[in-house]
A and B are shown apart, each in its own frame.
Chain A
Amino acid sequence: MKLLSCSPTNVARDYDYFLVACGSDYRAYQVLRKSKDYRISIKKALTFDFQQRHDDLDPESLQAYQSCESLGIDTEQVPCSIVDPSACVKMLGSFDPELVNAKNVAIDISCFTKPYFFCILKYLKEKTTISSVTVFYTEPLSYVFAKGLYYSYHSTFGPLSVMEIPGFPGNDTRTTKKVLVVLLGFDRELSLFISEEVAPDEIVIINGFPAYAPKFKDISLINNEKLISSAGPSSIRYARASNPFETFNLLEQLYNQEPFAFFNVAPIGTKPMALGACLFALFYPTVRIVYPLPEKYAHVTTKECWNSWSYEVPLRIVMKNENALGKS
Chain B
Amino acid sequence: MNIEDSYRNPFSDYNANVMDTKKILDYWCSPFAFFKTAPVSEEDIYRHNMPIVFMGGRGTGKTMFLKYFSYETQRDKALRETDGKTPGAIMSYLKSRGGIGFYLRFDGPVLRSFEGKGVSPEKWDAIFTQYFELQVCKSYIEVIADLVNRKQLSQKDIDDNFVACIARRLGGQDRHPKQIKDILDMVEDALEEITEFRAKIGFSEAEFVPKKAFASQDLSFGVVEIARKTIKEFGNDLNFVILLDEYENYLERQQVIVNTLLKFVRQGMTFRIGMRLQGFHTIATISRNEFIMEGRDYSKYVFEDILVKDREYRKFLWNVAKKRLENIPIFKEKNYLDISSFLGKEEHLEEEAAKLVKGEESKLKYFDLPEYSSRLRSKISDNLVDDTRKLIAKPDNPLLELLNVLWLVRGNEAQEIKKAMDEYLSGRVSSSLAKKYKRDYVDKYKLSLMFLLASVYHRRKMYYSFNTYCFLSSGIIGNFIELCRRSFQYAYFENRDALLNDGKISNEIQDRAARDLADTQLEMTKRIRDYGHNIYLFAKNLGNLFAEYHKDLLIRYPETNQFTIDASASGDEELRGILRSAIEWSIIQEKPTLQQRTPGAPRTNIYTLNRVFSPTFDLTYRTRGGHSEEFNTSDLKALMTQDGIKSQLGSKKKAKKEGFQPEIGLK
Residues of B within 8 A of A198 (CB): 107, 109
Report how far A133 CA is from B344 CA in the complex, Å. Answer: 63
Report how far A172 CA is from B12 CA in the complex, Å. Answer: 28
Residue of B at shortest CB range from A174? B188
- On whether the beta carbons of A295 and B532 are closer than 8 Å, the reply is yes
Report how far A263 CA is from B619 CA in the complex, Å. Answer: 44
B489 within 8 A of A: yes
Report how far A207 CA is from B124 CA in the complex, Å. Answer: 38
A172-195 vs B: 1/0 string, CB under 8 Å? 111000000000000011000101
A4 within 8 A of B: no
- On whether the beta carbons of A90 and B18 are closer than 8 Å, the reply is no
A144-187 vs B: 1/0 string, CB under 8 Å? 00000000000001111111111111111110000000000000
Residues of B within 8 A of A167 (CB): 199-200, 202-203
Looking at B143-151, B520-528, B641-649, the stretch in contact with chain A turns out to be: B520-528
Report how far A159 CA is from B537 CA in the complex, Å. Answer: 13
- Taking a contact as CB atoms closer than 8 A, the residue among A159, A163, A174 that contacts B528 in the complex is A159
B556 within 8 A of A: no
A217 within 8 A of B: no
Residues of A within 8 A of B527 (CB): 158-160, 189, 193
- On whether the beta carbons of B14 and A90 are closer than 8 Å, the reply is no
- Taking a contact as CB atoms closer than 8 A, the residue among A89, A169, A229 that contacts B199 in the complex is A169
Residues of B within 8 A of A169 (CB): 110, 113, 195, 198-199, 202
What are 10 A-B pairs with beta-carbon distances under 8 A? A86-B117, A126-B203, A162-B108, A166-B117, A171-B195, A172-B195, A174-B188, A196-B17, A230-B15, A288-B109
Decide: A127 near B529, CB < 8 A? Known: A199-B15, A200-B18. Answer: no
Within 8 A of A (CB), among B313-362: none
Residues of B within 8 A of A159 (CB): 526-533
Residues of B within 8 A of A87 (CB): 117-118
Within 8 A of A (CB), among B508-540: 523-524, 526-533
A82 within 8 A of B: no
- On whether the beta carbons of B192 and A171 are closer than 8 Å, the reply is yes
- On whether the beta carbons of A324 and B109 are closer than 8 Å, the reply is no
Residues of A within 8 A of B109 (CB): 162-164, 197-198, 288, 290
Within 8 A of B (CB), among A192-225: 193, 195-201, 203
B652 within 8 A of A: no
Question: Which of B14, B110, B116, B201 has the most chain A CB atoms closer than 10 A to its own CB?
Answer: B110
Chain B positions near chain A (C-beta within 8 angstroms): 9, 12-15, 17-18, 20, 105, 107-110, 112-113, 116-118, 188-189, 191-192, 195-196, 198-205, 485, 489, 523-524, 526-533
- A305 vs chain B, min Cβ distance (A): 30
- On whether the beta carbons of B202 and A229 are closer than 8 Å, the reply is no
- Taking a contact as CB atoms closer than 8 A, the residue among B15, B204, B485, B533 that contacts A127 in the complex is B204
Report how far A126 CA is from B205 CA in the complex, Å. Answer: 12
How many interface residues does A have (CB within 8 Å)? Answer: 47
A114 within 8 A of B: no
Residues of A within 8 A of B202 (CB): 86, 89, 119, 122, 165-169
Decide: A173 near B203, CB < 8 A? Known: A164-B109, A193-B527, A295-B532. Answer: no
Residues of A within 8 A of B105 (CB): 199
Residues of B within 8 A of A196 (CB): 15, 17
Report how far A161 CA is from B18 CA in the complex, Å. Answer: 20
- On whether the beta carbons of B113 and A161 are closer than 8 Å, the reply is no
Report how far A197 CA is from B202 CA in the complex, Å. Answer: 21
Residue of B at shortest CB range from A125? B203
- On whether the beta carbons of B20 and A90 are closer than 8 Å, the reply is no
- On whether the beta carbons of A168 and B529 are closer than 8 Å, the reply is no
- A252 vs chain B, min Cβ distance (A): 20
A260 within 8 A of B: no
Report how far A197 CA is from B110 CA in the complex, Å. Answer: 10
Residues of B within 8 A of A244 (CB): none
Do most interface residues of chain B lie in helix, strand or loop, or is the interface mixed? helix
Report how far A161 CA is from B20 CA in the complex, Å. Answer: 27
Report how far A298 CA is from B366 CA in the complex, Å. Answer: 49
- Taking a contact as CB atoms closer than 8 A, the residue among B107, B118, B204 that contacts A199 in the complex is B107
- On whether the beta carbons of A89 and B13 are closer than 8 Å, the reply is no
A102 within 8 A of B: no
- On whether the beta carbons of A229 and B196 are closer than 8 Å, the reply is no
Residues of A within 8 A of B15 (CB): 195-196, 199, 230
Given contacts A89-B202, A90-B117, A201-B20, 7 further A-B contacts (CB under 8 A): A89-B203, A162-B108, A169-B198, A174-B188, A188-B523, A198-B109, A229-B485
6 nearest A-B residue pairs (beta carbon): A166-B202, A199-B17, A167-B202, A159-B532, A173-B188, A169-B198
Residues of B within 8 A of A165 (CB): 202
Residues of A within 8 A of B528 (CB): 159
Report how far A255 CA is from B203 CA in the complex, Å. Answer: 25
Residues of A within 8 A of B485 (CB): 229
Report how far A163 CA is from B112 CA in the complex, Å. Answer: 7
Residues of B within 8 A of A229 (CB): 9, 12, 485, 489
Report how far A84 CA is from B203 CA in the complex, Å. Answer: 11
A313-328 vs B: 1/0 string, CB under 8 Å? 0000000000011000
- On whether the beta carbons of B195 and A325 are closer than 8 Å, the reply is yes
Decide: A90 near B205, CB < 8 A? Known: A159-B528, A161-B529. Answer: yes
Residue of A at shortest CB range from B191? A173
Report how far A123 CA is from B109 CA in the complex, Å. Answer: 21
Residue of B at shortest CB range from A91? B118
Decide: A173 near B195, CB < 8 A? Known: A126-B204, A159-B532, A196-B17. Answer: yes
A276 within 8 A of B: no
Residue of A at shortest CB range from B13? A230
- Taking a contact as CB atoms closer than 8 A, the residue among A90, A163, A164, A285 that contacts B203 in the complex is A90
Report how far A173 CA is from B195 CA in the complex, Å. Answer: 9
Residue of B at shortest CB range from A230? B12
Residues of B within 8 A of A163 (CB): 109, 112-113
Residues of A within 8 A of B14 (CB): 230
Report how far A127 CA is from B203 CA in the complex, Å. Answer: 9
- On whether the beta carbons of A90 and B524 are closer than 8 Å, the reply is no
Report how far A127 CA is from B200 CA in the complex, Å. Answer: 11
Residue of A at shortest CB range from B118? A90
- A205 vs chain B, min Cβ distance (A): 14
- Taking a contact as CB atoms closer than 8 A, the residue among B9, B110, B112, B195 that contacts A161 in the complex is B112
Report how far A232 CA is from B112 CA in the complex, Å. Answer: 30
Report how far A171 CA is from B200 CA in the complex, Å. Answer: 13
Residue of B at shortest CB range from A166? B202
- B141 vs chain A, min Cβ distance (A): 13
- On whether the beta carbons of A158 and B204 are closer than 8 Å, the reply is no
Report how far A164 CA is from B203 CA in the complex, Å. Answer: 13
Question: Which of A89, A127, A159, A199 has the most chain B CB atoms closer than 10 A to its own CB?
Answer: A159
Report how far A114 CA is from B158 CA in the complex, Å. Answer: 49
Report how far A252 CA is from B112 CA in the complex, Å. Answer: 28
Residues of B within 8 A of A290 (CB): 109
- On whether the beta carbons of B108 and A168 are closer than 8 Å, the reply is no
- Taking a contact as CB atoms closer than 8 A, the residue among A123, A126, A174, A189 that contacts B524 in the complex is A189
Residues of A within 8 A of B118 (CB): 86-87, 90
Residues of A within 8 A of B529 (CB): 159-161
Residue of B at shortest CB range from A327? B192
- B48 vs chain A, min Cβ distance (A): 27
Report how far A157 CA is from B523 CA in the complex, Å. Answer: 11
Report how far A198 CA is from B531 CA in the complex, Å. Answer: 22
Residues of A within 8 A of B198 (CB): 164, 169
Decide: A164 near B188, CB < 8 A? Known: A123-B203, A197-B108, A295-B532. Answer: no
Residues of A within 8 A of B523 (CB): 188-189
Report how far A71 CA is from B143 CA in the complex, Å. Answer: 64
Residues of A within 8 A of B201 (CB): 86, 166
- B136 vs chain A, min Cβ distance (A): 15
- B342 vs chain A, min Cβ distance (A): 18
Residue of A at shortest CB range from B20? A201
- B381 vs chain A, min Cβ distance (A): 53
- On whether the beta carbons of B533 and A158 are closer than 8 Å, the reply is yes
Residue of A at shortest CB range from B528? A159
Question: Which of B12, B118, B189, B203 has the most chain A CB atoms closer than 10 A to its own CB?
Answer: B203
Residues of B within 8 A of A199 (CB): 15, 17-18, 105, 107
